[in-house]
Amino acid sequence: MNLHALWNSALDRLNSLGGQRAVDIAIALIIFLLAMAVAWFAWHRRSRTQTSQIRSLETEHLRLTAEIATLLQRYETALRGSDVTVFTQDQDLRYTSISNDFLGYHIDEIIDRTDDDLIPADNRAAVVEMKRAVLNSGQPLDRELQIFDGQISRWYDFHVEPVRSGGRVAGLTSAVVDITARKEGQEHLRLLMREISHRSKNLLAIIQAMARQTARHAGGIEDFLNQFNARVQALARSHDLLVQEDWHGASMKDLLRMQLGPYVDAEFTQVSIGGPAVLLKPETAQNLGLALHELASNASKYGALSVASGKVTAYWKQIANEPNGIEFVWTEEGGPTVNVPKKRGFGSMLIQQNLSRALETEVDLRFEKDGLRCQITIPRDHLYSLTPEPAPDT
């Protein structure tokens, strides 16, 4: 029996039982059931789709939450390890969040407090005025301000932005960089440039004086060029030594070795150097370096260093009746017989007059028969430091 025959048979039975009304009711019921089945199937399918979408959204939400947490952790780590501090404040300038300790206070000491509580009165007005300007204008501001943090005054570079909520300014957020080191570097550079200018002028004055005095005592152009070149090189050697020490002074021993170097062998076999550790001030090192050059140059031409048997002894000691100064003595022996020069040259004048005037001290230069002797008193004002224990002879 096919489906059509079954349907006709069912209609005949319904018709015999209740007539046409029963048939209509049955048909309506069947249609209703079919409609409900279709509706349930559609709802079930949509529900499964929505459930799948919800699960997908939940997964994406979890992924994004984890990614944001990781980025936030990196951001906080980067801020903690830097000189940058980020904070937010409400309209009353009460701190609502902050990334690092600031102004000598820990984070928990800053939250819910205002600038009136944290910033010293001497620095507060400029900071509050800047922040109020941002709140009132709604425009960002950048400013460098100096604030006392409880220990020292530090410089900060502020970048302040308004925070808006519902179309109005509800607070502000700031990024602050500690620029104290940069400011100190700029100030150090200014002082350094000023010092370089001062030293350059002094150096030019010295060179100009050397050129004038060398020309006055030179026998001719060639003689002038040789002497002037040697003296400029001596001045350069003293400068090289000072540069090596960042212009913090020059060791007496190093200065002697630097100026004697061009006139002796590498082992300094003809020279004996000894005395306590002394650090000379820069200008003293320049003036004394020129005098030592004149002594060494004279010894190599006419004195102890002009013969293999000659010997130069350079030593210094602390002055007994002036514990803060030193006495430097240069003696020569074993060289040619010394005759007192009939005419005083530039070297003698530089040692006896220029050095005496520069150090405000006494200089005793003697042309003794067995060798030249020079005694120089160096006052404490021209020394940075003096160690009483004598350094070993060289």
Domains and CATH numbers, the chain: 3-77 (no CATH), 82-178 (3.30.450.20), 183-391 (3.30.565.10)
- Give the pLDDT confidence score for residue 83 in this predicted structure: 73
How large is the average pLDDT for residues 42-60? 75
Indicate whether 221 pLDDT > 80: yes
Provide the pLDDT for residue 153.
87
Question: What CA–CA distance (Å, rounded) separates 206 from 147?
Answer: 45
CB 95 within 8 A of CB 107: no
Residue 21 pLDDT exceeds 80: no
Alpha-carbon span 260 to 95, nearest angstrom? 68
Q: Residue 391's pLDDT is what?
A: 46
pLDDT tens-digit map of 252-305: 999 999 999 998 888 899 999 999 999 999 889 999 999 999 999 999 999 999
Residue 350 or 237, more confident: 237
Please give the share of the chain, as a percent, with pLDDT higher than 90: 36
* pLDDT at 26 > cutoff 80: no
- Spatial distance between the Cα atoms of 310 and 379, rounded to a whole number of angstroms: 31
| CA–CA separation, 235 and 354 (whole Å) | 15
Burial of residue 221 (number of CB atoms within 10 Å: 0-12, 13-18, 19+): exposed
Whether residue 74 has pLDDT greater than 70: no
Q: Name the percent of the chain lying above pLDDT 70.
A: 86
Q: What is the pLDDT of residue 313?
A: 95
More confident: 211 or 344: 211
Q: What angle do CA 68, 69, 70 make, to 5 degrees?
A: 90
Burial class (CB in 10 A: 0-12, 13-18, 19+), 5: exposed
Q: What is the largest CA-CA distance in the chain?
A: 166
The pTM for the full model equals 0.58
Q: 117 to each of 90, 150, 154, 157, 214, how far by Cα in Å? A: 15, 13, 18, 21, 70
Q: What is the pLDDT of residue 331?
A: 95
Report pLDDT digits (tens) over 229-242.
988 999 889 888 88
pLDDT of residue 151: 77
Q: Is the pLDDT of residue 355 over 90?
A: no
Q: What is the mean pLDDT of the chain?
A: 84
128 sits in which H/E element: helix 121-137
Question: Of residues 52 and 275, which shows the higher confidence score?
Answer: 275
Range in 13-17, 162-166, 216-220, 294-298 with the lowest mean pLDDT: 13-17
User: CA-CA distance, 164 to 140, in Å (whole number)?
Assistant: 12
Work out the burial of residue 11: count CB atoms within 10 Å of its CB; fewer than 13 is exposed, 13-18 middle, 19 or more buried.
middle
Measured in degrees and rounded to the nearest 5, phi and psi for residue 57 equal -65, -40
CA gap 345, 337 in Å, rounded: 19
pLDDT at 17 over 70: no
Spatial contact of 327 and 375, defined as CB atoms under 8 Å apart: yes
Nearest-angstrom CA–CA distance, 290 and 202: 14
| Mean pLDDT value of segment 30-56 | 75
**Separation of alpha carbons 394 and 268, rounded Å:** 8
pLDDT in tens, 95-151: 999 888 888 889 899 999 999 999 988 889 999 999 999 999 999 999 999 998 777
Residue 393: pLDDT over 60: no
Q: Quick one: tokens of 121?
A: 């009165």
pLDDT-derived band at 194 (thresholds 50, 70, 90) equals confident
| Tally of CB atoms within 10 A around 199 | 16
Least confident of 73-87, 92-106, 245-259: 73-87
| pLDDT band at residue 94 using 50, 70 and 90 as cut-offs | very high
Residue with the bigger pLDDT between 181 and 195: it is 181
Inform me whether the pLDDT recorded for 20 exceeds 80.
no
Average pLDDT for 5-25: 62
Give the pLDDT score at 314. 95
Q: Do 367 and 341 touch, CB atoms closer than 8 A?
A: yes
Q: What is the SS3 assignment for 394?
A: coil
For residue 179, the SS3 value is: coil
pLDDT band for position 12 (cuts 50, 70, 90): low
Per-residue pLDDT tens over the stretch 302-347: 999 999 999 999 999 988 766 568 999 999 999 998 888 877 777 8
